[in-house]
Amino acid sequence: MLKIKISQHIPMPIQVSLECMDGQIHALVGPSGSGKTTVLRMIAGLSNPEIGKIECAESVWFNADEYRKNFLSVPVAKRSCGFLFQQYALFPHLNALQNVLIALQNSGIDFERKRLLALQWLEQMGIDNLADRRPHQLSGGQQQRVALARALARQPEVLLLDEPFSAIDVPTRQSLYRTLADIRQDLSIPILLVTHDLREAELLADNITVIDQGIALQTATPSALFQKPRNTRVAQLVGISNTFQGKFNAGKLSWEGTNYILDVIDKGKIPAGMDVAWVVPQSGLSVHRQANHATLPVTIKQVSTLGQIASVELAIRDSGLSINWDASSAELKRLGLEAGEHVYLEIDPQQIHIMPLRPINDPRRLQNI
């Protein structure tokens, strides 16, 4: 198990707290420059936070309070980390086997045993037949497999992956996803994955931490994160397009900019009469040809078809607002919907998620990380 709670102010603010169980993949997502890679470097010991604690497999790797008492920072070489970099970081003058052998250099075992272990890792990556090739003779995906074999050859207690699939084509990426899934089952160690690809995080991770300007804004399962973001900034960062404002009053949500009042579930967490932001996932939207008691009149403003998916912009009548509805091309064809038509939108009240309305720079957004 990996547990971290770290904080610093310079050279950039960092305030992150998370746990990753053995066998789990925990993704760190956020904009470029948000501090995701910095967190990995701190875990590996390549840099230190000002205060906090980093603990892995019941061993403390870093510990410092605000007074710098009981300071501890285990050297990089003594932290059992496998670190996979975005650009592979293979030695160009060494072949694949020799690159993996580097990780076993100080293992204390004889050369022939090290060679057999390195070959076994290349075999597990499916590239043992490429052991004699140098990096320039390998494809991007093959280089990444060599780098992954090297990271795992030390039998680390945690695996750190820094944008490992970003420079690889889609078919190769899918293959590496399967390899990562197999490794996860076999090794049962915490795996931290830095990625800018939300779909990748949703596909691979058990939990996701959203980081913005060095601050962990929310940690949740993928489904909870996309359906119930903590605040409007999280909703923006995870790409939730349908974010609106309103006023909440005991189960009634007045939709700002419209004359509509939506019935929502009152969980007793938001005071009556409070200004709020709210989101609704795509699963909470449906479009009908005929009106019923639960529908709102809308006009199809624009239809954008992307392969088998159609993105439909619906203008809320008698307002300046629009809401986006993603449907399959088949559903669009079945309903016979075209731009300019008047149809009816149904919003599932059970899927509306209400959030306190706070500015992005409000310091209260840093609470409960």
Domain boundaries, the chain: 2-227, 241-358
- Return the CATH number of the domain spanning residue range 2-227: 3.40.50.300
Residues in the chain: 369
Output the CA torsion 164→166→167→168 (10° steps): 80
Q: In the structure encoding, which two tokens stand for residue 167, read together?
A: 């420079």
Task: List CB contacts of 223: < 8 A, sequence separation 6 or more.
Answer: none
Assess contact for 226 and 240: CB atoms under 8 A.
yes
> Would you state the pLDDT for residue 225?
92
> Would you state the pLDDT for residue 361?
45
Regions of the chain short of the pLDDT cut 70: 358-369
**2-227 and 241-358 have identical folds:** no
The proportion of the chain whose per-residue pLDDT surpasses 90, expressed as a percent, equals 59
Which residue, among 333, 196, 344, 353, has the nearest Cα to 262 in the 3D structure?
353
How far apart are alpha carbons 66 and 51 in whole angstroms? 6
Q: For residue range 152-206, what is the model confidence (pLDDT) as tens digits?
A: 998 999 999 999 888 778 888 888 888 888 888 888 899 999 998 888 999 999 9
**Per CATH, which fold does 241-358 belong to?**
OB fold (Dihydrolipoamide Acetyltransferase, E2P) (2.40.50)
Percent composition of the chain: helix, strand, coil (DSSP 3-state, to 5): 30, 30, 40
> Would you state the pLDDT for residue 180?
87
* End-to-end CA, the chain: 19
Q: Name 314's bridge partners.
A: 300, 323
